[in-house]
A and B are shown apart, each in its own frame.
Chain A
Amino acid sequence: MKTDIILCGVGGQGILSIATIIGEAAMKENLYIKQAEVHGMSQRGGDVQSNLRISSNPISSDLIPLGGADVIISMEPMEALRYLPFLAKDGWIITSSTPFINIPNYPDIETIKADLQKISNVIMLDIEQAAKDNGVPRSANVILLGAAQKALGIEYDKLEDAIRRVFGRKGEAIVEANIKALAIGKQAQK
């Protein structure tokens, strides 16, 4: 088993908590993990990404080569496209459809959506709306994770268990909200 994942978004959107859940699930399965993160200046509203690699065999590089990512999980539609050269031809993009506009020259969102539709394997979700509609407003990122479950090659139950461990000390209500969010994302899978 080997999955190379690019997690991306805008600084402050919480991509690292998605990485934490995947990492926790992978560690429990005794998989090898490498996860390169971005800290520092770009966290102030700039583009951020994390290269997360999980494998049943030892992993050499902390960075994913061009055309090597099995899945891009993005909290923002234009950010998903930023890392396109790293996506394998048969790889998946799982992205939020809500633009985060903090720059004056953000492109037309319909153009961005059309660019995304050109990729063979795309799941685009209005996770913010889905989170609100389902009463889990703070768990939009976990909805995205649920939608990526098959592409990640990790069993659903293992992600659920990982959520229990990661959020356990924050109380049962937060655990349940995130498990509900994971289930909503799962439904959206193709």
Chain B
Amino acid sequence: MKKLLLGDEAIAQGAIDAGLSGVYAYPGTPSTEITEYIQDSPVAKERNIHRRWSTNEKTAMEAALGMSYMGKRALVCMKHVGLNVCADPFVNSAMTGTNGGLIVLVADDPSMHSSQDEQDSRFYAKFAMIPTFEPSSQQEAYDMMGEAFDLSEQLHLPILMRVTTRMAHSRAVVEVADEPRQQNELNYDAQASNWVLLPAFARKRNVVVTGQQPILEQMAVDSKYNKYIDAADHKLGIIASGIAYNYLMECYPDGCPYPVLKISHYPIPKKLIRRMTDDCEFVLIAEEGQPFIEDQVRGVMPGNAVIKGRLTGELPRTGELNPDFLKKALGIESSESYAPCEDVTPRPPALCQGCGHRDVYTALNEVLKEYPNARVFGDIGCYTLGFLPPYKAIHSCVDMGASITMAKGASDAGQWPAVAIIGDSTFTHSGMTGLLDAINENADITVIISDNLTTAMTGGQDSAGTNKFEAICKGLGLSEDHLKVVNPIPKNMPEITQAIRDEINYHGVSVIIPRRECMQTLQRHLKQKKAAK
């Protein structure tokens, strides 16, 4: 059966067809559509595949590991920075090993289309000593899911599946199975001596995991996803991984005149690389992300060849690749084209018209006029756009939850007023623990939880704490007198500004919750209501 699928959807379909029992994820561009596709899948419903959103990537990773422990196939999905959040269970899942197949899907975002850095997840897999798959096409993405689950069960290791933005968000026709595989039965094969990482047992596992590395490398050498395509002209050889392989082939519609090594399965297949460095005078390395292969090729086996790539300037050191960068590196002229039009101005994203965050920033700016030294620590979400004109309202945005803890640290340093602004979903993801720290020390900070009842930035997914924020704050020990809920609409401006002013002037922890539904989900809900009538 043929389907036109996004890379993310091909991954989701591949997982379902491989007998998936649960997907665990926190929304994050460009990985969100995987879980959404499974949530909408009739097969997933029929099989009762777990598909609800998790509170953050760490809870997702651990739940997936628990499902694997019971012998079933689990998938955990995240954007690249999510892997930082779950780095502890991720690295240690290689130490415990797996029972049912476990795939950790990470979508990297080179060029930072929707992210704060462009870290390359392949380093994490190397660090954890597990195999990585990196598809070059949507068909490979689909096919690899089944094979990665099989491999995970064969090796008793989690598998990292790495995609980048263009693979995640590009559509192509994919041939998919007519019938999904059976799901695994619950089993009790997991050995406690592997799964209890007390030092004495962990040391033994460490020897096993480390000892497996030559096997993993040989598998990469033999993998059908790593291809050595020889050609007549050995002046140059080209190593291309993942989606960079597509850009390379775009440069040579009639076939590449030089040997090409396509890498989509790691650890790097040293034997194949050595063949190229021995045979070719120059080797160009094209990879999406950081120079992961290039660093290893330079460090491990210089061979006879001169290595070219991101580290020598033939390809840009940062940012995503495209066909024209490859053309330039290969000495091929780009097609004749128009010059950029000088009258075009940038059109940055902005908060939607009618968005509650707008009213929150209007109120906050109004009050902070009275406190010229105030610092506002922002967080990750739509409201980060409050940095841009006309609001220019925040002074930092670092990682999920950092608003509250940075405000606390600033206050510890002597700053006043120290204000944190964080969204509802970000607060439950990583803000609650920071608020507990602040409450325990009665830090002099004002926290605004701007609650729009959804995870808005990624398209309106459920938010884990909806209807629970007052209870969470009180449960963490916040004084009821300094917990205020307001409705951020223009006519309530006097009430909101008064609440902000009062709580800044109170020298202890206070939380203000402006609460109004996101305009995007509101419109969607109104449409659904209309359709139901």
Contacts and interface: CB of A to CB of B under 8 A. Distances in A.
B471 interface: no
Nearest to A85: B337
A187 interface: no
Contact of A44 (B167, B248, B351): B351
A60 B341 contact: no
Interface stretch (A107-115, A129-137, A140-148, A176-184): A107-115
B33 A39 contact: yes
Interface residues of A, number: 51
A81 B172 contact: no
A40 B249 contact: no
Contacts of B243: 62
A104 B167 CA distance: 34
A81 B246 CA distance: 27
Contacts of B336: 67, 89
Contacts of A103: 345-348
B374 interface: no
Contacts of B170: 34-37, 62
A112 B29 contact: no
Contacts of A45: 347, 349-350, 352
B298 interface: no
A73 interface: no
A106 B2 CA distance: 44
A84 B322 contact: no
A92 B298 CA distance: 46
Nearest to B245: A60
B188 interface: no
Interface string A21-62: 001100100001111111111111111000000000001111
B344 A78 contact: yes
B305 to A, nearest CB: 25
B184 interface: no
B172 A33 contact: yes
Contacts of A60: 246-250, 253
Contact of A41 (B114, B172, B248, B250): B114
B352 A27 contact: no
Contacts of B337: 66-67, 84-89
B169 A38 contact: yes
Given A35-B172, A87-B337, A87-B338, A61 B323 contact: yes
A40 B114 CA distance: 6
A10 interface: yes
Given A11-B349, A45-B350, A47-B347, A40 B334 contact: no
A27 B113 contact: no
From B171, B322, B324, residue with most partner A Cβ within 10 Å: B171
Contact of A85 (B246, B338, B385): B338
A42 B343 contact: no
Nearest to A103: B347
A39 B323 contact: no
B173 interface: yes
B455 to A, nearest CB: 13
A27 B173 CA distance: 8
B349 A27 contact: no
A88 B347 contact: no
Nearest to A68: B335
Given A45-B349, A46-B348, A40 B341 contact: no
A179 B409 CA distance: 61
B287 to A, nearest CB: 15
B137 to A, nearest CB: 9
B172 A34 contact: yes
Interface of B: 2, 4, 6, 29-30, 32-33, 113-114, 166-167, 169-173, 243, 246-250, 253, 322-324, 327, 334-341, 343-352, 382, 385, 389, 457-459
20 contacts: A33-B4, A36-B169, A36-B171, A37-B6, A38-B113, A39-B29, A39-B169, A42-B114, A44-B349, A44-B382, A65-B335, A66-B324, A67-B338, A78-B344, A81-B341, A81-B344, A85-B337, A89-B336, A107-B344, A115-B341
